Structure 1
Amino acid sequence: MTMEIPIIEIKGVGPETAKDLEGLQIATVEDLFEHFPYRYENYEVRDLSTVKHDEKITVEGKVHSEPSLTFFNRKKSRLTVRVFIDRYLITAVIFNRSYLKKQLQIGETVTITGKWDQHRASIAVAEIKKGKEKRSRVIEPVYAVKGNVGVKQLRKIMSAAFAQYATQIVDALPEQLRTQYKLMDRVDALKAIHFPLDFRQVKQARRRLVYEELLLFQLRMQAFKMLQRREGKGSPIPVKKEDAASFISKLPFPLTQAQQRVMNEILSDLKKPYHMNRLLQGDVGSGKTVVAAIALFAVAKAGFQGALMVPTEILAEQHEVSLKALLEHEQVKVALLTSTVKGKRRRELTESLKNGEIDVLVGTHALIQDDVAFHNLGLVITDEQHRFGVVQRRTLSAKGNNPDVLHMTATPIPRTLAISAFGDMDVSTIDELPAGRKEIRTFWAKHDMLERVLTFVDAELQKGRQAYVICPLIEESDQLDVQNAIDVHGQLQHYFQKYNVGLMHGRLSPQEKEEVMVGFKENHTQILVSTTVVEVGVNVPNATVMVIYDAERFGLSQLHQLRGRVGRGSDQSYCVLIADAKSEVSQERMRIMTETGDGFKLSEHDLKLRGPGDFFGKKQSGLPEFKMADVVHDYRTLSVARDDAAALMHAEAFWKDDSYTALRHYLEQNGVFNKERLD
């Protein structure tokens, strides 16, 4: 499957060209074959009656009249010529090619490629040639190129490489899968993608190559998961469903069906002989904390300890209060460890933890300090797991004998992305909100309506409520004409003189942030002006208004996270998006936000509007860079590939039969096993 033949071995590729190709990440013949076209030029001659407005077309016709030439200056000109195409008389418009005036003779046959303007009955000409279309291939691939290598040269190199090496292409997909899904073999698919005869061929080739790419990716993920399980054999935790059921029956509210389903998945994992690696995702307010509490209770009753690690002290304190309320009357001891716990108090706490007197430890990254040792750690839960580095999460896990791990996030991740970004984890989703929870009413206002928005905020404050005001920047920027937190803070202090207006942003020290949040939580501050640092954070049930300035600068998922800061109490809550939203995409975002409060629907929309790289932010996305597949467009194939990869991993034939040799070789080459074989 992999052809590690250096690119310089292709006939006609010298040292200079090889160097230029390396600038395109093409170092081997395999790299070249997988440098796929991003679009195709279609030179198939069309009938004008079948062409839509603004479509790019190729047509044949006869010059009907003398060309007319207009000069704008010495270099810029426009040539127009009337051409008969079938029964239509159209105008061909050619820019900056004045020399053609003498070459285009009345009655002469010409082939024109360009964009069709149906309203003006004209073509903006990209190419014009005398005579009929003579190309052997009417569909030509267009590649990403840079430096000295142009598209035509790359086509020639591709052709030479196929002539030399097509017979050496290995097909990794076994015949059984190719037959099952009616897929081309690899050599035909590569040939069809680079040298297609028609677009039907391109479609079939793409279908084959997308499935192959996603299957290989999922095989890596599934093999990694299996290896983790083999290496990560901890002790099964003998949790009892009846303990969990008894605990649930005493809760002051019923669990939703989604909470019940997720709970069963977690309890089932805890009993297994290898450690759990599960992502629990649920919208803000969907009840993840209760699920975590039930899991921690079941683990404690089975004689093991649990740990819950969160990103901030204030969040840790919040979790400690809610877990104590749920667990301590069940004789499950909960303790809190943050960087503010020092001296004698810290020594006593770590001693109690080591002796097994503490069942559940809640804390920040203080949990992973060297002096923190557990008696028998069975379950590690990280809240907002993407906020912790991999090393921090591993350090916490290393404090037990491969404890089970549950990652929680309130960022609704579309299943499409969850499968690809977290392929080595099992994903549980709470996709319904508890009964009786009021939906946050969301409105979109233009900047010139700010006075009305502030009057509305004032009315809520007069009822004793509180408000968040979010800005995209900390201070004024030369580059961006957007509201900044420092200016807005000053304006609102002047406008709301009866109230205290707080300011929060990323440049404050952790201690300062903590003080600002505590002030807001305890209602010493009625309005909190902030950047997005409050996106994940403290629970302030009394806050009923969220105002977001320049809302078009945020993605849907981030807007939804910010909106989720309100609506945590029994009062009706509101979110006001202030945005002029001039582009269609921005207007679409604002419209979707006002129409749905479902984080998962919003995240799917966000994925379509922004693409997978921007969904998490390019740097930390951890998403694979696919050469052919697109996780949004090809999500069904991704799901199929995941199921197929899991089935292969567990099939004895995969590890023994010759038909799977290429796939096994691929896993070894990619370092999944470090030359090992799975049992």
Structure 2
Amino acid sequence: MPDTITQPVPSLLAPLLAGVETLGGVRPATAKLLARAAGGGRVIDLLFHLPESVVDRRYRPTLRQAEIGRICTLHVTIARVVPPPSGGGRGKRPWRVVVSDGTADAELVFFSPYQARGLEAGQDICVSGTLERFGDRLNMTHPDYLVPAERMGEIPLLDPVWPLTAGLFPRQVRNAIRAAFDIFPDLPEWQDSSVMKQRQWPGFEQALRTLHRPCDFPDLLEGDALVAAAERARARLACDDLLAQQVSMAQARRQNRLRPGRPIVADGSLRGVALSRFGHEPTVAQIRALAEIDADLAQPRQMTRLLQGDVGAGKTLVALMAMLGAVEAGHQAALMAPTEILARQHLATFTRLSPVPVAFLSGSVKGKARREALARIADGTARLVIGTHALFQDSVVFADLALAVIDEQHRFGVEQRAMLGEKGPQTDVLVMTATPIPRSLLLTQWGDMMVSRLDVKPAGRKPVRTSLHTLSAMGDLLVGMERAMARGARIFWVCPLVSESETSDIAAAEARHAALAAHFGADKVGLAHGQQDITVREQAIADFAAGRTRILVATTVIEVGVDIPDATVMIIEHAERFGLAQLHQLRGRVGRGHAESYCLLLHDNALGQTARRRLALLRETDDGFLIADEDFRLRGGGDLTGRRQSGLPDLRLASPLHVDMLLRLAAQDARRLVDTPPDRAPPAMRARMPAVSLLLDLFSRGQAVRAIRAG
């Protein structure tokens, strides 16, 4: 990797990486507000806080010429100031300031007295705002600007509008931005000069100035010149953002390729026993996926692979075979699941099939049993280990962890996944999911995670019929449930994601449980949520599985790890509040037997176009990759080199349109910069390399390898 791209931060960037409180005229309280609005407290964060629009204040007519409904800037004289009448309701009546420019009269209307109180008859002032007509009078309510006539130059011809936060005013942002440009350093160019010329892109500082301070460029004040200039400026900054991301990714990719591993070659002795106990031939997809995993494990580099397959497609068997391969080679393998229910389900499967003992570790394993499990893991007598988050705790020490399998990986954070992979010296990582989260989908699209796909449905598995219903049809729904239950149906009812608070979600589940118990009878309706004691929750699920209850009201605690073939109906309340991946997983709780199964997505009567499109996709397909593609398109890919797993992929200046237009360009440039040794690079590329180092620091692109290794 060229050292010229990874050199330490030089002092050249110090003014931009300093806190906004270092800017002249910015008080500490204002600095806090600016940091909140900009999403960071550095000067560069403020400069990256781009305006969302620009107000055109170039229209400066007389009152007689002015177009109604248009923003205009007027030079007028105050004729009289009319305060609100005294007595009751004073706070609700406006101040009125009658003004004239000699061609016509107008009224300035103020519901707050702040501006009006300082005005007197005879003053020459300039105001800017939207001119309206009220009856036969022209008026302007709360002008955006009001200054003495001699200070008319303070009203910008082109006025950027920044996103604000409570207590922060545009003038404070404007003044801070001006102070930031006063100390802006002279930075070298990191973009390819030929691309700059072809696309007519401005330099980095000029691009920022064009958007923040368009009035600094007189040529932009004519006609529609600003529109084209702003588009070029935003495109250039978006490509800076993408190039920084892609260089850090290319460095991580190169480091991953060079990261040494240890070849793991299975002899098949344990796998053969497990397959004989399984009693069925693996599907073609399972055989193919295992061959791909084996090929990766046999390489002298560490593996990061995604195993994707719909519910019931056989991911667990593939994982077991891969783990037994590591055991055959003399090492340990561990599987981490997000919930104890799912972990114990895997334990039951592994115990039934594996010819070697399986150790189990979770938060509920206490006392002597925990000490014994930890000892067996530490001394290597436990070759296969299954557990929950407890596996990556500091107290868990592996003798020789060679393969870490992470199930339902979207339920874990990046740090949690990385911590398990780091329990061994050169651990290979296999992550599994029924629907790839956008973050992993993004990694696979950009070549940092290989994918094995189980695309063969289990024999005899019927598709789940999915339909959309409004919440106003609740009465008809209850009648339909009664008919289904009369035919022996068992029904899941998943309650809505009320908020980010698990407590609120539980309250919704308890309320729905009470309502359904009142309608169908308390003996027929169970309740399962994450705050219950695990024995209570498991009993509720066991009662439902055995048919002692016919309806199970639950939160997303049943999203994974619940296998009840006789459950044939899934009702998801306020389905528009769930992610597509979650809806797909929840739907996978039914259709696991031979009977026809149904998924009913209940939604608000007033459903937005995007939400309707998302739910319609669930109705039209059960293909996990198609669903993940849509989830990625709607939510973005998350932060590849950081911790966010949804939203734009940590791109501050690049819109989705910019990503579509410029990603390939940035990715190709990044690969050339990273993969070309400095002594073989053309002079122009070699000259850019130190500047690219500055770019990485401006966009806070640090160590990407660890996050990518975590999947």
Same fold (TM over 0.5): yes
CA RMSD of aligned residues (A): 5.9
Give the counterpart letter for 1:452 in structure 2: D
What's the CA shift for 1:449? 2.9
Whether 2:226 is the aligned partner of 1:212: answer no
Give the counterpart letter for 2:356 in structure 1: K
What's the CA shift for 1:206? 0.9
Residues 190 and 205, structure 1, Cα contact 8 Å, conserved in 2: yes
2:604 aligns with 580
Q: Among residues 509, 512, 516, which one is paired with 1:485 in the alignment?
A: 509
1:35 aligns with 49
2:654 aligns with 629
2:674 aligns with 649
Q: Among residues 11, 16, 24, which one is paired with 2:34 in the alignment?
A: 24
Whether 2:160 is the aligned partner of 1:141: answer yes
Q: Among residues 337, 340, 362, which one is paired with 1:310 in the alignment?
A: 337
- The share of aligned pairs that are identical, in percent, is 33
Q: Among residues 199, 203, 218, which one is paired with 1:185 in the alignment?
A: 203
Give the counterpart letter for 1:575 in structure 2: C
Q: 2: CA distance between counterparts of 1:265 and 1:632?
A: 35
Q: 2: CA distance between counterparts of 1:195 and 1:96?
A: 31
Distance verdict in 2 for CA 1:545–1:600, change over 3 Å: same
Q: Among residues 262, 266, 289, which one is paired with 1:235 in the alignment?
A: 262
Residues 457 and 545, structure 1, Cα contact 8 Å, conserved in 2: no
Whether 2:255 is the aligned partner of 1:255: answer no
Q: 2: CA distance between counterparts of 1:504 and 1:123?
A: 61
1:554 aligns with 578
Residues 469 and 527, structure 1, Cα contact 8 Å, conserved in 2: yes
What's the CA shift for 1:298? 4.4
SS in 2 for 1:214: helix
What's the CA shift for 1:113? 6.0
Residues 78 and 94, structure 1, Cα contact 8 Å, conserved in 2: yes
What's the CA shift for 1:209? 0.8
Q: 1: CA distance between counterparts of 2:625 and 2:139?
A: 45
1:4 aligns with 14
What's the CA shift for 1:550? 3.5
Residues 444 and 450, structure 2, Cα contact 8 Å, conserved in 1: no
Q: 2: CA distance between counterparts of 1:537 and 1:23?
A: 45
Deviation digits for residues 182-203 of structure 1, max 9, x if unmatched?
6443233223222342111111
Give the counterpart letter for 2:343 in structure 1: A
Whether 2:544 is the aligned partner of 1:520: answer yes
Give the counterpart letter for 1:310 in structure 2: A
Deviation digits for residues 300-341 of structure 1, max 9, x if unmatched?
55554432121333323322444567x65xxx5362524577
SS in 1 for 2:13: coil
SS in 1 for 2:480: helix
Residues 337 and 362, structure 1, Cα contact 8 Å, conserved in 2: yes
Q: Among residues 434, 440, 458, which one is paired with 2:457 in the alignment?
A: 434
What's the CA shift for 1:571? 2.1
SS in 1 for 2:571: strand
SS in 2 for 1:442: strand
Deviation digits for residues 385-421 of structure 1, max 9, x if unmatched?
3444666545543443321012223344236x74379
Deviation digits for residues 192-245 of structure 1, max 9, x if unmatched?
222342111111111111121122133334434555665x5231224699x999
SS in 1 for 2:432: strand
SS in 1 for 2:14: coil
Q: 2: CA distance between counterparts of 1:673 and 1:370?
A: 23
1:66 aligns with none
Q: Among residues 489, 496, 515, which one is paired with 2:520 in the alignment?
A: 496
Q: How many residue pairs get matched?
A: 639
2:402 aligns with 378
Stretch of structure 1 that moved more, 461-470 or 216-225: 216-225
1:202 aligns with 230
2:473 aligns with 449
Q: 2: CA distance between counterparts of 1:587 and 1:546?
A: 19
Q: 2: CA distance between counterparts of 1:372 and 1:147?
A: 46
Q: 1: CA distance between counterparts of 2:564 and 2:315?
A: 17
2:7 aligns with none
Q: 1: CA distance between counterparts of 2:631 and 2:382?
A: 43
SS in 1 for 2:160: strand
Stretch of structure 1 that moved more, 215-224 or 295-304: 295-304
Higher relative contact order (CA 8 A, sep 6+): 2
Q: 2: CA distance between counterparts of 1:668 and 1:580?
A: 45
1:86 aligns with none
Q: 1: CA distance between counterparts of 2:292 and 2:558?
A: 31
1:419 aligns with 442
2:188 aligns with 170
SS in 2 for 1:272: coil
Distance verdict in 2 for CA 1:180–1:128, change over 3 Å: closer
Residues 55 and 158, structure 2, Cα contact 8 Å, conserved in 1: yes
Deviation digits for residues 513-556 of structure 1, max 9, x if unmatched?
23333333344433211122212222222211112234344344
Give the counterpart letter for 1:645 in structure 2: A
Residues 440 and 597, structure 1, Cα contact 8 Å, conserved in 2: no
1:155 aligns with 174
Give the counterpart letter for 1:407 in structure 2: V
Whether 2:288 is the aligned partner of 1:288: answer no
Distance verdict in 2 for CA 1:376–1:13, change over 3 Å: closer
Q: 2: CA distance between counterparts of 1:587 and 1:390?
A: 28
Residues 441 and 594, structure 1, Cα contact 8 Å, conserved in 2: no
What's the CA shift for 1:504? 0.8
Give the counterpart letter for 1:548 in structure 2: I
Q: 1: CA distance between counterparts of 2:498 and 2:655?
A: 35
Distance verdict in 2 for CA 1:43–1:463, change over 3 Å: same
Stretch of structure 1 that moved more, 338-347 or 292-301: 338-347
Distance verdict in 2 for CA 1:156–1:431, change over 3 Å: farther
Distance verdict in 2 for CA 1:14–1:159, change over 3 Å: closer
Residues 636 and 646, structure 2, Cα contact 8 Å, conserved in 1: no
Deviation digits for residues 71-104 of structure 1, max 9, x if unmatched?
997675699x9xxxxxxxxx999886999xx99x
Q: 2: CA distance between counterparts of 1:96 and 1:357?
A: 78
SS in 1 for 2:284: coil
Distance verdict in 2 for CA 1:537–1:447, change over 3 Å: same
Distance verdict in 2 for CA 1:218–1:287, change over 3 Å: farther
1:662 aligns with 691
Deviation digits for residues 552-587 of structure 1, max 9, x if unmatched?
443444333322222222322112233333352586
1:335 aligns with 358
Q: 1: CA distance between counterparts of 2:432 and 2:384?
A: 17
SS in 2 for 1:536: coil
Distance verdict in 2 for CA 1:609–1:654, change over 3 Å: farther
Residues 438 and 631, structure 2, Cα contact 8 Å, conserved in 1: no
1:50 aligns with none
Instruction: In structure 1, list runs of 5 or more residues that go unmatched.
Output: 47-54, 64-68, 82-90, 104-109, 675-679
Give the counterpart letter for 1:218 in structure 2: Q
Distance verdict in 2 for CA 1:483–1:31, change over 3 Å: closer
Distance verdict in 2 for CA 1:514–1:521, change over 3 Å: same
Q: 2: CA distance between counterparts of 1:31 and 1:187?
A: 14
